[in-house]
């Protein structure tokens, strides 16, 4: 099982990159041609920008697998679009006490069809959340302000909750590089996406994910990535569906620099033969 396949959704429309639609689609087309297995090749788009997306697709057709972020009050028209997942802000269901309480029945956008995966964005502090069958969670790992970054303990608690409950989740924002590091411009630590993946692996093996989230030793992080058993990798990636990145090149570059994917084909290693783990 490869830890890093189908990991990164294309969030080029979102800050801080915030590409115009034509540039985002052009980059996505180039990524489709390169076919890196690290990328999901799924294009994230707010519902409010679907009309603009349709105009561009009429002018320059492109097969798109969409991840839809529901930022409109009314469900958008989806005919002719291949929607794979829908992300719903938890704020739609937030109570006066700051909890998220989902109503019985389906979430918004029933028109997306039963096969479309749905995720509700919450903060770690809003857990636990009662979810309808088949619905997952989404967690924000950063943002524009230092307070937008959850602590390692809070993010670890979110991961542990998802592992205990068997709830799949997506991540977004702040995961700009593979390894946890301090950002002097923001004055806070940024989570690493390799830390995140390995923290989920730790949790499915019954270990505390927090120390892995805090890890900044690159050599130790790589050693742990190469030592993950196949079963733990499989279970971890069933839970961690993907994360959205506004930059689709940097995750691949970082994994290449760490020697966790092969430069020839862009495929990940996830595990290595035992003799290389010693």
- The 3-state secondary structure of the chain reads CCCCCCCEEECCCCCCCCCCHHHHHHHHHHHHHHCCCCEEEEEEEEHHHHHHHHHHHHHCCCCCEEEEECCCCCCCCCCCCEEEEEEEEHHHHECCCCCECCCCCCCCCHHHCCCCEEEEECCHHHCCCCCCCCEEEEEECCCCCHHHCCCHHHHHHHHHHHHHHCCCEEEECCCCCCCCEEECCCCEEECCHHHHHHHHHHHHCCCCCHHHHHCCCHHHHHHHHHECCHHHHHHHHHHEEEEEECCCCHHHHHHHHCCCECCCCCCECCECCHHHHC
Q: For the whole model, what pTM was predicted?
A: 0.90
Q: How far out from the chain centre does Cα 204 lie?
A: 18
Which residues are bridge partners to 242 per DSSP? Answer: 170
Mean pLDDT of 126-138: 90
What is the percentage of the chain residues whose pLDDT exceeds 70?
90
**What is the per-residue pLDDT for 124?**
95
pLDDT digits (tens, 9 = 90+) for 152-185: 999 999 999 999 999 999 999 989 999 999 999 9
Inform me whether the pLDDT recorded for 110 exceeds 60.
no
Mean pLDDT of 252-271: 74
Confirm if 213 and 202 have CB atoms less than 8 A apart. no
Mean pLDDT of 195-223: 98
d(CA 243, CA 117): 14
Confirm if 276 and 59 have CB atoms less than 8 A apart. no
Beta-sheet pairing, 240-245 with 39-46: unpaired
């Amino acid at each position: 099982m490869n830890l890093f396949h189908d990991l990164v959704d294309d969030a080029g429309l979102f800050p801080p990159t915030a590409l115009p639609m034509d540039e985002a689609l052009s980059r996505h087309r180039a990524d489709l041609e390169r076919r890196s297995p690290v990328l999901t090749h799924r294009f994230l788009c707010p519902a409010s920008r679907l009309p603009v997306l349709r105009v561009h697709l009429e002018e320059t057709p492109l097969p798109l697998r969409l991840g839809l972020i529901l930022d409109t009050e009314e469900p958008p028209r989806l005919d002719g679009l291949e929607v794979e997942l829908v992300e719903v802000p938890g704020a739609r269901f937030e109570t006066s006490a700051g909890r998220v309480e989902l109503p019985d029945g389906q979430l918004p956008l029933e028109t997306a069809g039963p096969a479309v995966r749905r995720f509700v964005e919450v903060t770690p502090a809003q857990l636990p959340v009662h979810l309808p069958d088949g619905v997952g969670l989404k967690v924000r790992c950063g943002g524009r302000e230092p307070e937008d970054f959850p602590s390692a303990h809070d993010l670890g608690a979110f991961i542990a909750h998802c592992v205990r409950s068997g709830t799949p989740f997506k991540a977004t924002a702040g995961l700009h590089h593979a390894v946890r590091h301090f950002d002097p411009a923001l004055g806070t630590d940024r989570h690493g996406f390799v830390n995140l993946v390995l923290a989920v692996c730790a949790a499915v093996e019954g270990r505390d994910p927090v120390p892995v989230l805090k890890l900044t030793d690159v050599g130790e992080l790589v050693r742990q990535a190469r030592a993950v058993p196949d079963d733990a990798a499989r279970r971890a990636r069933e839970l961690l569906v993907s994360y959205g990145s506004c930059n689709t090149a940097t995750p691949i570059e970082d994994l290449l620099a760490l020697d966790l994917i092969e430069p020839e084909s862009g495929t990940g290693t996830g595990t290595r033969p035992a003799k290389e783990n010693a």
